[in-house]
Amino acid sequence: MLQLRATSFVSDYYPGAIKACELIEAFLDYTEKELELREDQIAFLTSVCSDDLSSVQLPDNDMIGPFVLGGLDGYPFVGRTGIGAFSHHLPEEGAALMVVGPHVGITDDGQVGKVLRPGQSKPSDCCGAAAAALQKLVAGGIHPKQPADFDPHDYQQESLEQLMLNHSNEILHLGKSTYAWRFVRASEVIYRETVETLFNFLKTVKVEAPAFVFGGILINLDGDQGAYFALRHAIFIDHCRFEDMTDEFRKWVKPKLDEFEAGNTDVFRKRNR
């Protein structure tokens, strides 16, 4: 039997996480069936971390892109101008597929916020920017600061620090006080802020084509084992109308994931190409 769902050292923190590549296959399948589009009519956008491990693992596909909106830990630092630029890249009679969220490394022995990178013998921080901000928050080293006062050469990192400071009580005190759980909570905070900011952009930038936004936490594994994705939202957007399709997508995808794990690895690959 094939293993799609997260193993225990991941599911302890992210129950329901699925192998990222196959979940992207499911996203494509679902998007195409809902909108009756070929892959080459879909423009792909990511707002994930610029970390080399964090690029979304894609199956073979004919989508346009990706357009990269995210900076450190996936926050959409490219901004409203970036979304505006992407909106002009969509194919005629096409659609957009957006995958957004921060990333978290988890080692084979269960260390959260760490991962063994290819070519290295010891685990390192993942997401490194989130880890640095969290460690500074725990030490009491982050103080309120206005964006105009941010270091222009480290603007993104200072932005993450202020996001964490604004939610310091949740990150540090609402739950278990271990580093692992604080890292998990910090990532959830960054996820919420990322999605809220992205949706605000999408409410103010005119996007003519329909779009699906799939948001969640990308979980990196040691070495070349790939990644899992813990889905948080599946949102359909059409001319500034937002429809939450998360439950519908979960119900739709479950039997297909079961079929995949039973051995039918082509369950998501009978798409229009």
| pLDDT at residue number 136 | 97
Residues of the chain with pLDDT under 50: none
| pLDDT at residue number 261 | 81
| pLDDT at residue number 271 | 53
| pLDDT at residue number 31 | 78
pLDDT digits (tens, 9 = 90+) for 116-138: 988 888 999 999 999 999 999 99
| pLDDT at residue number 198 | 94
Give the residue ranges of DSSP H helices in the chain.
8-11, 20-35, 79-87, 128-138, 155-166, 168-173, 179-204, 246-261
Residues ≥6 apart with Cβ < 8 Å to 152 = none
Residues ≥6 apart with Cβ < 8 Å to 200 = none
Peptide bond into 21 cis (omega under 30): no
| pLDDT at residue number 59 | 66
| pLDDT at residue number 56 | 57
| pLDDT at residue number 22 | 84
Q: Rounded to two decimals, what is the model's pTM?
A: 0.91
| pLDDT at residue number 72 | 93
pLDDT digits (tens, 9 = 90+) for 241-251: 899 999 999 99
**Cα angle 24-29-33, degrees, rounded to a multiple of 5:** 145
| pLDDT at residue number 112 | 96
CA 119 to chain centre: 25
Cβ distance 95 to 211 under 8 Å?
A: yes
